[in-house]
Chain A
Amino acid sequence: MQKLVDKVVSGDLRSASRLIRMIDDGHPQSHEALKQLFPHCGGARVIGITGPPGAGKSTLSSSLIDIIRQRNKSVGVLAVDPSSPITGGAILGDRIRMSRHALDEDVFIRSLASRGHFGGITPATRGAIRVMDAMGKDYVIVETVGVGQDEVDIARLADTTLIVWVPGLGDNVQAMKAGIMEVGDVFVVNKAEHPDTANTVNYLKSVFRQTGSSGPIQRDWIPPVLETVALNSRGIDELFKVIDEHAQYTSRASEYYLARKRADCEVELRGFISREINHRISRQLADGEKINAQVGQIITGETDIYVVTDSLLQELE
């Protein structure tokens, strides 16, 4: 394991790829490996990209890779797509949109299936970001599908979160209200060759003007709204400039920003702990003996499900 970690830190693609797989598969040693990677992390800037399917997130990622590479920086991409809730399988096709970077050694593209985690962010995504960070990638782009509340997840992991929208969807206030307005750092109206673009942009801007002053702390970053045509990289330079500006903003660590970070972190930590508890307990119960014994007694009415739950949990603690 130490060897694998060392190799990841030295930037070895195969080891990193393997470790991401172990994390994704819930390999028992991956938790330990991630801990060991910690001292080597923090160098990467994480850009989250989320929005409805077909909005052009992958195409946009590809254009962002162009710019990052022009600046001679390296980049990792995590493209997360939903797993089928019924079969657990998935078709992951985002690579196709980034195929022009296929042979660039400084671009590492990895597709992940959400494996039943809502919000597109799997615990593995966090781990995979860390692996890419530890490898020395300057940027990590994380693409997730989202059309509502779920987007919140990516925002907690990313330094800068882009919400990708398309013209015509602007009036879909329901989806907009449900969370994403709060978490997006930058709004991108992609497919901006469309005649409806101006309406959508104006609509979004008006929404931000209204929400700008609400909330307990004065908001000091009003999400800019940009137009792009990802297909031919129109507007990407401007977008990247804004991403840079946002990086400067976060480095100033304003009161508003810190409050938001704290809140995000707390949610994340609580989530992690409860997931870990869940895992550990599930593992202890895995053989089923204890459960089976009690199930029989519950059915015959000898004891009660509430009583059993309490006593089993006490025993495990």
Chain B
Amino acid sequence: MPSTVRTKSGIPLKNIYTPEDDPDRDYQRDLGNPGSYPFTRGTRDNPGGGWIQRELSGEGDPLRSNAQFKYLLEMGQTGIDVIGDSPTMSLMDPDHPLAKYVVGTQGVSVCCHNDYRDLLRDIPLDEISISSSAPGMFTVASLYLLAKEGGISPAALRGSVLQWPFYSENCGYAYKMPFDLHLRMSCDVIEFCSREMPRFHGYLEDTYFFSEAGLNAVEEAALGFIEIRHIVRTLLNRGLAIDSFAPRIAILVNCTMDFYEEIAKIRAMRRIFSRMMKEEFGAQDPRSMAVNIACHTSGLSLTSEQPANNIVRGAVQTVALGLAGIQALEISTFDEGFRTPSEEAHRVGLRTQQIVDLETNITKVQDPFGGSWFMESLTDEVEGKILALVEEIESRGDPAELVTSGYFRQFFEGTMSRHHQQMSAGEITKVGLNVHKIPEEEDTLLRDVSEVKIEPYRQRADDIAAFKLSRDQAGVNESLLRVHNTVQSPGKNIMEGVINAVQIGATMGEVIGVMRQASGEPYDPYGHLRSPIEDLL
């Protein structure tokens, strides 16, 4: 007997499925049409099909990235998706000593309102959705200001910022701040957006970044729902109505090469989300129950070897996502193993999406897998496993305490190590890496493009340092002091003070530094910088 084939989450796959695999299906209860509860088949009735097509961008300084956006829009991209470089993602200004060799090499360096002005120059903010992985509080502050400066109502802004208080510290980009403060920042942003920017997703639950720590689909979704549930509860405890913010929760998921399971995961997540909002949190507005799902295809599924093969992987993943139905997509590009996307890779990524969208009719039928004995039973199984894992983890204690006690850190170390073991045992097949290898000297196709390095933007550090000297320092300090004091007043929203500070010219690193100080932490966790308001405290 052949050994059982399993999905990455360990669900056995059978060769043939029959009606017996999906015996008591209640269509209205479990599936519903696309756009109706429980939204298993899709968030909305979307007759045209398709999704927001975009590619992850951001490189060098804000103007360089602005040129990238324009290039991608010209190529037919329908939304913008931008990521900061690693200092930016870790709330660090480019003139920090630790940033020196990495400014702008893996994303854009943005640290002040001027930077956002350059970054989004000539971009019609009322027409194009901006999805930003750069720190949410600062993206929102600047978008809000830019809209006002451009005579646009902030209410017209579309896009998203991610919130990751639970996991960023352990397996993403470290904020180096107490969990409580990070959570509060997230909730403040969500609350602010629900009031001032109602079309904007102030809360994108990004399960992508932590799932790249070797998590399977079930683990990815379970950790995502644990965070969603905790954030929603926190917002409700603040006195917000569920329907005031739930319509603007979105989820960014990963998509590996495990074709069927990834489709089942997305279907299951839509159903879990809608039931959670309706049954647990009492949402009434159907929009609160229908979650937008965006996807970033798995970088971990790609190989540095034979990079052209990654184009095929991206295409297969796009097909899976087309069949699952999603609202937005970025494909990890063929050069992912080496760098953030080159111009060539950007184009291929976008073209892949366009080919699937325009040439195949795949998106013209919604949820074509609906009613499949196989897919429905797999969706049920994935859903069951997600819910069981959520319950298992939540039974260990208050999720917030699991964060601070290091439980999740251990969890991720376990999955990282498991991934390593599976790779070295050859349990994960990767063509070109552990099977069907070719000699290194023959592995040339697209290698030249992939291996081109982006030089660090050393000039940025000097520019920002000079900018800091050119400001009205007294005004900046006063605004920072205000942020500091707001943080020390529980129950006050920090957003307003942050908007004020960045408008005056305070940088992200400074604002975050004084927020850390206000919670008894060092201004600079890396021990290099002195707080500008040290003497005022």
Contact = CB atoms under 8 A, between A and B. Distances in A.
**A/B touching: CB–CB < 8 A:** yes
Interface of A: 54, 100, 191, 193-194, 229, 231-234
Nearest to B404: A191
Nearest to A229: B520
Contact of A233 (B178, B405, B520): B520
Contacts of A231: 178, 521
B527 A100 contact: yes
Nearest to B519: A232
Contacts of B404: 191
A145 B525 CA distance: 26
Given A100-B522, A100-B525, A232-B519, 7 more contacts: A193-B180, A194-B401, A231-B178, A231-B521, A232-B520, A232-B521, A233-B520
Interface in B503-523: 519-522
A54 B406 contact: yes
B420 to A, nearest CB: 13
A234 B178 CA distance: 13
Contact of A234 (B401, B520, B527): B520
Nearest to B410: A54
A234 B520 CA distance: 8
Interface in B159-190: 178, 180
A22 B49 CA distance: 69
Interface residues of B, number: 12
Contacts of A233: 520
Interface in B382-405: 401, 404-405
Contacts of B406: 54
Nearest to B178: A231
Nearest to A166: B405
A232 B522 CA distance: 8
Interface of B: 178, 180, 401, 404-406, 519-522, 525, 527
B405 A54 contact: yes
Given A54-B405, A54-B406, A232 B527 contact: no
A234 B521 CA distance: 10
Interface of B is mostly: loop
A71 B525 CA distance: 22
Contacts of B527: 100
Nearest to B521: A232
A231 B406 CA distance: 13
A229 B404 CA distance: 12
A116 to B, nearest CB: 23
A193 B521 CA distance: 14
Contacts of B401: 194
17 contacts: A54-B405, A54-B406, A100-B522, A100-B525, A100-B527, A191-B404, A193-B180, A194-B401, A229-B520, A231-B178, A231-B521, A232-B178, A232-B519, A232-B520, A232-B521, A233-B520, A234-B520
A194 B397 CA distance: 13
Contacts of B520: 229, 232-234
Contacts of A194: 401
Nearest to A91: B413
Contacts of A232: 178, 519-521
A100 B180 CA distance: 22
A6 to B, nearest CB: 34
Nearest to A54: B406
Contacts of B178: 231-232
Nearest to B527: A100
Contacts of B180: 193
A176 to B, nearest CB: 19
A231 B522 CA distance: 10
B285 to A, nearest CB: 34
B12 to A, nearest CB: 31
A231 B404 CA distance: 10
Contacts of A234: 520
B181 to A, nearest CB: 11
Nearest to A55: B405
Nearest to B516: A232
Nearest to A191: B404
A191 B521 CA distance: 14
A194 B179 CA distance: 13
Name the residue in B178, B180, B405, B519 with the highest tally of chain A Cβ atoms < 10 Å from its Cβ: B405
Nearest to B180: A193
A238 to B, nearest CB: 15
A234 B519 CA distance: 11
A191 B406 CA distance: 12
A42 B525 CA distance: 35
A184 B138 CA distance: 48
A153 B180 CA distance: 37
Contacts of B525: 100
Nearest to B413: A91
Q: Which 9 A-B pairs have the closest CB atoms?
A: A232-B520, A100-B527, A54-B406, A232-B521, A54-B405, A234-B520, A231-B178, A232-B519, A191-B404
Contacts of B519: 232
A25 B406 CA distance: 32
A276 B236 CA distance: 65
A18 B165 CA distance: 42
A233 B525 CA distance: 13
Nearest to B520: A232
A233 B178 CA distance: 13
A231 B178 CA distance: 8
A51 B473 CA distance: 47
B225 to A, nearest CB: 24
A182 B391 CA distance: 39
B361 to A, nearest CB: 52
Nearest to A167: B401
A238 B519 CA distance: 19
A1 B527 CA distance: 39
Contacts of A54: 405-406
Nearest to B401: A194
Contacts of A100: 522, 525, 527
A234 B527 CA distance: 19
B493 to A, nearest CB: 22
